[in-house]
Amino acid sequence: MRSSEILRGVVVMLLAIVGYGGLSVAASAWAGQARIKDLVDFQGVRGNDLVGYGLVVGLNGTGDSLRNAPFTEEALANVLERLGVNVQGENFRPRNVAAVLVTAALPPFARAGSRIDVMISAIGDAKSLLGGALVMTPLNAADGKIYAVAQGPLLAGGEAFEGNASTLTKGVPTAGVIPNGGRVEREVEFELAQLQTVRLALRNPDFTTANRIQHRINQFLGQPLAAALDPGTIDLQVPDTQRRQIAGFIASIESLEVLPDQPAKVVVDQRSGTIVMGADVRISTVAVSQGNLTVRITETPQVSQPNPFAAGETITVPRTDIQVDHGNNRMALVEGGANLAELVAGLNALGVGPRDMIDILSAIKSAGALHAEFIVR
């Protein structure tokens, strides 16, 4: 092969390496970006929580015992009286009725007649809501007004079986859901088309992220209409040409992609041994040593039995085996400025498990070498 062909092959290989490297860097930066709609909440585009008190009927003897839940009896009497049935002074003790709390979320811009899902939860001593149906229940918002009405057969979240000697419960039979069981009766008054300024609220306030969103929007619009007021708020002026189509204007803004930035955090859940560390966590130069002293004592008694014609007794001879394991007595040096991957690799080299890693991270934080917010739950 001639030297010119060899040189050409080397050049092609270098170009391929540079090209792949550039693609990997670009792909990494692109993968870290997020849409503005996933980072902020737009003013007025929010739901509202609803709650109501109702009755579930049609249960197979698994409802409230009215002696222990007098509010169920009172609510049932009120319902029957509204239907023209007078039960005052009557002694009735049905076991197929249960008092429940009904909750739902009213989505933004929900119109009258729309259907929403509702959640049902027993508040008495009912054993199961399986097979029950919710009687018409008004749902109120925080202002005390009725915004929806719920009714219909519910789907219980579990099953319960009971016998004379034992019981078996699978899931949570005292809670359920009614898909599309609520009907919106009142609309939340909000005129999106009348807004001259749209306010964006960051779900995770951060100065850098707010500044990047501001610059990205202004770059897209070609004029300085977005201004970051604080780490969690951005004001966006609606152009005069977009006043009559503000929904489309917001749609074009929320689809823009921005690289969010968050402070370095280490979140530890001691109950499950879960550790979550951000990519920006940095470690100063520190030496880490991890080891456990484990003592194992094994008792293996043996039986000593004499010969059949010998005079003697059968005795038990103790046999004890003691083993001492000093564990891992190595020490690892983590260089200053180490990132998350280097820290994890160094701790894994010591054979450190999640439980021990929590103690090590806490000690590193106490030593002032962990440059991140340390959150323990």
Look up residue 76 and give its two tokens.
């049932």
| Tens-place pLDDT, residues 181-217 | 999 999 887 777 777 888 899 988 999 999 999 999 9
pLDDT at 309: 60
CA 337 to mean position of chain CA atoms: 32
Q: How many CB atoms lie within 10 A of CB 300?
A: 8
pLDDT at 117: 94
In order of 36, 111, 280, 373, the CA distances from 204 in angstroms are 12, 30, 16, 15
pLDDT at 211: 93
pLDDT tens track, the chain, 377 positions: 444 444 344 333 333 333 434 433 333 444 578 899 899 988 777 788 999 999 999 888 888 887 666 777 777 777 777 777 776 656 666 778 888 999 999 988 888 999 999 999 998 888 888 889 999 999 999 888 999 999 999 988 766 666 655 666 666 788 899 999 999 999 887 777 777 888 899 988 999 999 999 999 999 999 999 999 999 999 999 888 887 888 888 889 988 999 988 888 888 887 777 778 777 777 777 666 666 544 454 556 676 666 666 566 767 666 656 554 545 555 555 555 566 666 667 667 666 777 777 777 788 788 787 788 888 87
Q: How far apart are the first and last CA of the chain?
A: 66
pLDDT at 160: 62
* Radius of gyration over every alpha carbon of the chain, rounded to an integer in angstroms: 34
pLDDT at 187: 86
Give the pTM.
Answer: 0.60
In order of 10, 11, 97, 353, the CA distances from 7 in angstroms are 5, 6, 87, 50
pLDDT at 324: 46
pLDDT at 92: 63
Closest CA to 130 of 111, 105, 158, 102: 158
> Are 47 and 106 contacting, i.e. CB atoms less than 8 angstroms apart?
yes
pLDDT at 11: 36
pLDDT at 294: 47
> Are 135 and 55 contacting, i.e. CB atoms less than 8 angstroms apart?
yes
pLDDT at 22: 41
